[in-house]
Amino acid sequence: MPEWAWIILSVVAFLAVVSGLIILGIALIVRAARRSRGEGDGRGLRGFTPFRLYAYVISFGGLMAGATGLVFLLQRFFEAIAPSDTILAKTSETRVAVGLAMLAIGGLVWAVHWGFIQRALATQGEAERASPERRIYLRLTAFVATVVLFIALVRLLRWAATADEFSGYPFAATLVWGIVWGAHQRLADREMAKGAPQDGLWQLGTYVTALYALGVGVAGLSGILAEVFHEARESLLSSSSVIVNSRFDSESVQSSIGLLSAGAAVWGYHWLVRAKEERATTGRAAASIIAGIGSSITLVVAAGILLFGFAWWFLAPPGELIAGSHYRFLSMVLAAGIPAGLVAGYFHLDFYGGPGKIGNRAADARNLMLAVVSIMGLGALATAVVFFVGAICGGLSQPARGLIVNDDWWRRSIAIGISTAVLGAPLWTGAWTKWRGLGERLNRDFLRGYLYIVIGISMLAVIGSGAHALYNLLRDATDDTFRGSWLREARWSLGVLIIAGAGALYHWRVTKEPGLAVKAAPEAKEAIAGPAQVRLTALGVPEETAAMVQASLGDGARVAERTATGRELGRLPLTALSALPDVLRLYAGRRLVLVIAKDEVRLYEA
């Protein structure tokens, strides 16, 4: 029997055994669960939630295997129709055999279980569409397809830019995973009610994909800018007017172009198209905050490297530096800082400005951003103190001539201390002062938690650094050849001990200020703090139905065309609408959203 036939049989047998064991295990678990609940003999699994979980999990696995196998086969097809002189290496027979086996088994498994799902969809309708298993399956499949599609698009764009060796994989993967992504995305969009807001799961998938694409695109832009600035530096330093070894056609640049193109396309679709109507949602606010924090950290690191480079230029020993070689760090700093600045500026405007801005209602987001900037500034200041103390202690433990002639470690320590102090002082003082001056928008519980976290970390640093410094002192004190070397060996521990102790003392004093001191827990208030605040939204139901629901609530309900929803609390059939006021009394004092569907009312947290 040919080798490829043995490979196919091996893969088929392996997948069959694994699938059989999984199916048998899930069936036994469901059967036992139904018997323990007194639901007959455990038969009729299709209406039971564990079967739904099983069906979607197996469908996902079968689809992944089948799509991968189809990619292998199409890869060989594209390589067969391409000119032979452009192909680096054709797909092996083994890869084709594996692809055929994966397509046959995976496709069959997916088709059978997808048929089960479609049958359940026809009988259960809305309940099946609203099930978390189905929504997770659709979103997870679309996200995995997006990631694989990214990789394929990058390779495809890189090949298009260089016209280098041909490979069928980018074409096959782009085609197959593009179809998988488009089909599941379209199915998910079609199942969402027209005009209804996206629930938390759809928002999570949209914004995770958008942030992933943004990171890929920014990495590509940074790679391109790094090469641009490198070429600019080389042209300035070169005595010739022609750069012989240009790197714009290098593999890294072409990969960066592919990353930028693919990332920009996917981010633009998810952020600017799919999420354009979701400006007031918590998901968009969280995505903006994550992107803003990430870009801010990148800017701070780039600024620190830039300041250190200039400080080292002035403090380095004479004759050690050459201007051209020293300022090589500028290309790296600018390549990372410019994209980070663009991202930070865009998300700042998106969060705080423009129509439908979300920043005014997100006081907690402002508290979080100021806390992050305060932490970065405080960390930079702590680093400065540690290196300054280390330089002083190291200098005191060595002869003056050795410092000037032989060693240059103290110069680097001072350069790092100066750069981090210049960076951290304005960051920390500005953010800390602005944070404490927010007035009514200040989240005192959040600030109190921040203070105690800083105090706890500082005390741990005090204990660790103090123990290390004491250990070095006692070790040298018991040594017959004690020469005071402990000061040099414990210089970093002493720096950490000083700044951590000062930080813990300062933040402890802040906790005693009015409004921040921990008070005794107040007595429990009455359970009913007032009527529930209700907002209504309708999903394509007749106006009479919406008016009937609103009338049952009295004057306390407000109708909104679109509104964001939180956790689902329950559902009530329209036939039992008279019980709605009693249900709302259970959530007195809370903000709720009622979504009026075809034959039921769904209750959500606002």
Express each pLDDT in 303-312 by its tens digit.
888 888 878 7
pTM score: 0.61
pLDDT at 86 exceeding the cut of 60 = no
When pLDDT is averaged across residues 362-389 and rounded to a whole number, the result is 83
Half-sphere exposure of 152 (CA within 13 A, CB side): 20
Indicate whether 463 pLDDT > 90: yes
Q: Compare 221 and 313 and report the one with higher pLDDT.
A: 221
Contact between 263 and 217 under an 8 Å Cβ cutoff? The reply is yes
Task: Quickly state the pLDDT bin for 497 (edges 50, 70, 90).
Answer: very high
pLDDT of residue 502: 93
Higher pLDDT, 173 or 315: 173
pLDDT-based confidence at residue 49 (cuts at 50, 70, 90): low
Say what percent of the chain tops pLDDT 70: 62
How far is Cα 22 from Cα 176, in angstroms, rounded to an integer? 27
**Is the pLDDT higher at 466 or at 159?**
466
Does residue 556 carry a pLDDT above 60? no
Bridge partners of 572?
601
When mean pLDDT is compared across 146-155, 285-294, 551-560, the lowest value belongs to 551-560
- So what's the pLDDT on residue 518? 52
Q: Do residues 138 and 173 make contact, with C-beta atoms less than 8 angstroms apart?
A: no
Please compute the mean of the pLDDT values over residues 383-397 and round it to a whole number.
83
Q: Is residue 325 over pLDDT 80?
A: no
Percent of the chain with pLDDT over 90: 5
Q: How confident is the model at residue 527 (pLDDT cuts 50, 70, 90)?
A: very low
Three-state DSSP class for residue 600: strand
Return the closest-CA partner of residue 439 out of 450, 447, 430: 447
Q: Mean pLDDT for the chain?
A: 73
155-189, pLDDT tens digit by residue?
787 777 665 666 778 888 889 988 998 888 888 77
The token duo for 442 is 């200040």
Checking if the pLDDT of 523 tops 80, the result is no
Question: Is 60 exceeded by the pLDDT of residue 43?
Answer: no
Beta-bridge mates of residue 603:
570, 594
Reading the block at residue 448, the tokens are 């109190």
